[in-house]
């Protein structure tokens, strides 16, 4: 149960962090070139959101696997 909480928490934090960083990057790009910035944000916002979602999901699965391995060893010995 604790590992599931770690998995959900790490996934949520990674996803929110990636979304925040993307938003920050978009803002910088938009300020530098409003026309290209608005075109870029409108055309790729969905693709980027989906990409960061799956990236966060994969990283969270790896983190979950590591916690599973680290918690299994003491119980076996």
Which residue bears the tokens 């604790």?
2
Residue 38 lies in a domain: yes
Task: State residue 33's pLDDT score.
Answer: 55
Identify the pLDDT of residue 70: 74
- What's the pLDDT tens digit per position in 11-59? 777 777 777 776 666 666 555 555 554 555 554 555 555 566 677 777 7
Q: What is the pTM of this model?
A: 0.37
In a domain, 77, yes or no: no
Q: Give the pLDDT score at 14.
A: 76
User: What range does the domain containing 57 cover?
Assistant: 2-70
Q: CA 11, CA 50: separation in Å to the nearest integer?
A: 14
pLDDT of 77 strictly over 50: no
Number of domains present in the structure of the chain: 1
Could you tell me if residue 66 is inside a domain?
yes
Residue 41 lies in a domain: yes
Position 5 pLDDT exceeds 50:
yes
């Amino acid at each position: 149960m604790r590992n599931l909480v770690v998995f959900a928490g790490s996934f949520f934090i990674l996803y929110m962090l990636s979304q925040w960083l993307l938003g920050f990057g978009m803002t910088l790009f938009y300020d530098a070139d409003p026309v290209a910035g608005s075109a870029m944000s409108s055309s790729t916002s969905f693709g980027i959101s989906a990409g960061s979602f799956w990236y966060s999901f994969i990283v969270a699965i790896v983190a979950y696997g590591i916690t599973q391995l680290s918690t299994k060893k003491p119980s076996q010995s």
